[in-house]
Structure 1
Amino acid sequence: MLVVTRLDDVTADLVIEELNRRDVPVARLDPGDFPTDVTVGATFDGSGMGGTLRTRSRIVELSAVRSVYWRRPSPYSSASGLNRQGARWCADQARYGLGGVLAALPRAHYLNHPWRNRDAEYKPTQLAMAARCGLNVPPTLITNDPARAREYACEYAPVIYKPLWNSDFTGVDARAATVWIEDVAPDTIDAGVSRTAHLFQQRVRKTADIRLTAVADQQFAVRIDGSPGVDWRRHYDSLSYTAIETPTDVAQGVRSYLDAFGLVYGAFDFGLGTDGRWWLYECNPNGQWAWFPDPICQPITTALADQLEYAGERA
């Protein structure tokens, strides 16, 4: 079992602990540690791929890997002492060399394959696919035209803004910052919109939020209550969680969505409308879940460990 993630990943820790409890051999690897603490020796010939990966504590036979849990690895990097151009060149070689090896393990079951994650990370693609799969999608505009954005905000008020990607962002105090989902009034939309793509979406008139965590054919829906604002991630101390059933039509749409992208796992965010409909905001193909209380976390942990252990045996 190979777990590809950075050191500070509590979500992966829970799954690794469960696999250890089952006496399933696990190796943890962060591509960001290459080349300092990771060594690759992959071979290719008429019989396919062979060779090894080495970390500080493990030697992994590439042909023996049965499952890969692809979580949140650090970015590919380079050895110290290089100039900017040399460092960038080495990081690219690492991405396409080590990254290519990790994506081509010959007998492995991926949860999820990194290229499937990549394909499913684009919000415009998510929304288009969700609609094709029969899920409800709030009216949404992606634009760099300030005039069009103001027209949209007037037509579909109330409207929110959300980033298209959670890039690393540093505030004025040099600390890591987050660009939150916010309400947007038409008169606050200015020429800055023209500098890049922006996503504006009609705010769902909701009674609660829902996080649905899907692991293959299992779906774990959690109702989230107590958020005083539009972005519940800003108010964890105020939230309460209740496990709920997923309506049949939503469950079918989620299953179709995973199949369309070739995903085994997905974390879906919905708003529960005042009319009872589930409105899809987005699906993170590698979303978190470990902050939930233990009674909610444990079934998800078990489902993921089962996928890695048993589906990997069949791969």
Structure 2
Amino acid sequence: MSDPRPVLVVTSLHDPTADVVISELHDRDIPVARLDSGDFPASLSVEAEITAHGLKGHLRTPSRSADLAHVRALYYRRPTGFAFPHLNDQDARFAITQARYGLGGVLAALPGCLYVNHPHRIGDAEFKPAGLAAAVQAGFLVPPTLITSSPDAARAFVKRHDSVIYKPLWNPVYLMDGASAVVKIAEVGADDIDESVAGTAHLFQQRIRKTGDVRVTVIGAKTFCVRIDSDLLDWRTDYSRLRYTPVEPPPRIEQALHHYMRHFGLVFGAFDFCIDEDGQWWFLECNPSGQWYWLEAETGLPMRAALADLLERNP
């Protein structure tokens, strides 16, 4: 008899990666309940009671209901944020915090549930300084990096290294002429550093002269490595110029990957490396909610099946 407990998928309405995973689970007769926490409270309701026997209750959408005490796994992808546009600013701030700590707190406390990944662990791992420090501890090679709001410190760092790039510490929605834009990775020189650096925190990193990039996707105990070749500083700026080749990770990389995952309590991670002229792999970042499905389409690697196995809780 099949296990009736559902997989809960928390993401936005338009998420093609979640779509293919849900399709795979349906093909396996695994029940799925999909919701976007940003729909709360308009079309998503929560009722959760803390009892002597633990948490019980339900999440309900117009088409689905999930028993909180019997969720098999939670696949936390990319939900939209809470919004209360009908309220004034002060009341909206209050309502958003109550939703975050109420509904968000319930989603983070499901009993006996496998999280891919737990939203609190995602939050921890998304801080670049913490990720870089953990990468050093795990045994990865990490380029010299400076996080600063000091123009003098930034100029001194640039002068100490042959070539330095700037990276945003986070990429929020940034509108230019009404269109969404991304702050790109760029090479910087000492003359590019001005007093505006003092306005907030910035990340500067020594540029590694690379021969290629690698995206490593860790799904439970399985590791999928794809070399990405292009002539781009940041391969994410033009996917049409990329070439993909599945590769095997060096043994020390495999060990360090799982050390890093344990450090943050993750079961899924999308790691980015660059390879230098000596063949050394340099850690750049790990996205705990990173994209991966386009790599299966390009290479045939069975990543969708691996993720469905994990959510189904197969070894």
| One of 224, 245, 250 as aligned partner of 2:248 | 245
| Amino acid across the alignment from 1:132 | Q
| One of 69, 88, 91 as aligned partner of 2:93 | 88
The match for 1:177 is 181
Task: Tell me the distance in 2 between the aligned counterparts of 1:168 and 1:34.
Answer: 21
Q: Report the TM-score, using the length of structure 2 for normalisation.
A: 0.96
Gaps (5+ residues) in structure 1? none
CA deviations over 1:200-241 (Å, ceiling 9, x no partner)? 001111100110000122110100012x32111111111011
How has the CA–CA distance of structure 1 residues 310 and 293 changed in structure 2, closer, same or farther, with 3 Å as cutoff? closer
Q: Report the TM-score, using the length of structure 1 for normalisation.
A: 0.96
Task: Tell me the distance in 1 between the aligned counterparts of 2:28 and 2:274.
Answer: 37
CA deviations over 1:4-44 (Å, ceiling 9, x no partner)? 00011111111111101111000101000000000111111
Task: Tell me the distance in 2 between the aligned counterparts of 1:255 and 1:145.
Answer: 35
How has the CA–CA distance of structure 1 residues 295 and 183 changed in structure 2, closer, same or farther, with 3 Å as cutoff? closer
User: Is the contact made by 1:224 and 1:240 (CA closer than 8 Å) also made in structure 2?
Assistant: yes
After TM superposition, the structure 1 = structure 2 runs for residues 1-315 of structure 1, keeping only pairs within 5 Å, are 1-78=7-84, 80-171=85-176, 173-226=177-230, 228-294=231-297, 296=299, 299-310=302-313
| Amino acid across the alignment from 2:145 | T
Task: Tell me the distance in 1 between the aligned counterparts of 2:223 and 2:157.
Answer: 35
Task: Judge which range, 243-252 or 147-156, deviates more.
Answer: 147-156
How has the CA–CA distance of structure 1 residues 295 and 187 changed in structure 2, closer, same or farther, with 3 Å as cutoff? closer
User: Is the contact made by 1:3 and 1:70 (CA closer than 8 Å) also made in structure 2?
Assistant: yes
Task: Report the CA distance between 1:291 and its aligned residue.
Answer: 2.3
| Amino acid across the alignment from 1:94 | A
CA deviations over 1:154-173 (Å, ceiling 9, x no partner)? 111210000001111111x1
Partner secondary structure for residue 295 of structure 2: coil
Task: Tell me the distance in 2 between the aligned counterparts of 1:155 and 1:297.
Answer: 43
Q: How many residues align?
A: 309
Partner secondary structure for residue 293 of structure 2: coil
User: Is the contact made by 2:224 and 2:301 (CA closer than 8 Å) also made in structure 1?
Assistant: no
Task: Tell me the distance in 1 between the aligned counterparts of 2:136 and 2:66.
Answer: 42
